[in-house]
Amino acid sequence: MGKLFAIVAALCSLIIVSGCSPDYGIIYSDTRYIEIPVYIESEVPEDAGLVWVDSFTQIASVNGTDIIWVIDRSGSMSNDTERLLAGIEAMMNSLPPQGWRLNIISTDPLGYLDQQFPLVPGDTIAEAEAMLNAATAGHRESGFESLRAYIEDGSYASTWMRWDAALLVVFVSDEEEQSYSEYPNVGDFVSWLDTKRSNIYVSSIVNLEPNESLCNTNSGYTGDRYMDATKYYGGVIVDICSEDWSPGVRDASTQIEPYESIELTHEAVTDSVRVFANGSLYPYWRYDQSNNTVYFDIVPAAGILIEVGYRYLPVDTGIDTGN
């Protein structure tokens, strides 16, 4: 809230509008001084607009993306075989042309014993299906525990996973995550996962709540724990009954390079745009009104919080000019 207030205050200081305080000047007289208001006159439209802030934390450049699909291979998934195969095809087709390695394990922690050579660019959908069929078909639905066991207890993961790469984990299950003894709280799981990489993406292809799902009629099968972990990482949640699973892979696996620009949520009032880096004004940028995008002349370093504050004008219909 403090940073947002500072950004709003900075935007307000550009023009005199209702709710913004004037700047003050200091006049010295001998050994004393007084403050008097200094008003900057500017023509202000009847509606000065609303203030909005878009933001992101800059990521580090990485050596590609290691991808682990953690797929429920229990009996209940037999009803989803056709959808699962179609989903694998959609996800394979959405991968970038280079830079990734992919392995499939089951949600049964015994899957850490699997030693399958990872898929790489150029491999086919048929090879992905063969990898799925070779994965341990255990009955347990403990995706969190299975991922930990594969990365830490098995030796094979270290032969193909690159610790300078980003990590994308995609959970696929028609039931709730059940690693209760290993990770009684989702926070315990993400605390462990946070230690594995600097850039982590998580997606979940699960049963949504019955009132949102295309097929789930029993709240007991909702993948709440998977979805909570996904939300922690700002990832993508896909209904397992959706015809298109590709967003669960595409949106994360393509973002492996630092941001060089940011498309704004609303159509900005051009002169109002200001960029802040960790709360301080950042001067190395330009705004292109034609595509409503801020481009960085000097790309911000990894870990810096970038905030773009600006004004936008709602349209007459009451719907704003956002994308």
Q: What pLDDT sits at residue 56?
A: 86
Backbone angles phi, psi at 84, to 5 degrees: -65, -45
SS3 content of the chain, % helix, strand, coil (to 5): 30, 25, 45
What domains does the chain contain, in order, with CATH numbers? 2-58+258-312 (no CATH), 65-253 (3.40.50.410)
Segment 97-115, tens digit of pLDDT:
788 899 999 999 987 888 8
CA 112, CA 53: separation in Å to the nearest integer?
44
CA 51, CA 201: separation in Å to the nearest integer?
30
Q: What pLDDT sits at residue 26?
A: 41
User: Does the structure show a pLDDT above 60 at 124?
Assistant: yes
**Which has more confidence, 279 or 198?**
279
User: Does the structure show a pLDDT above 60 at 42?
Assistant: no
Q: What pLDDT sits at residue 5?
A: 47
What confidence tier does 316 reach under pLDDT thresholds 50, 70, 90? low
CA 315, CA 54: separation in Å to the nearest integer?
20
**Which has more confidence, 17 or 97?**
97
Element spanning 161, H or E: none
Q: Take residue 113 and report the two structure tokens written for it.
A: 């014993």
311's torsion region: left (phi>0), alpha (psi -120 to 50) or beta?
A: beta
Q: Take residue 211 and report the two structure tokens written for it.
A: 């009132």
What confidence tier does 145 reach under pLDDT thresholds 50, 70, 90? very high
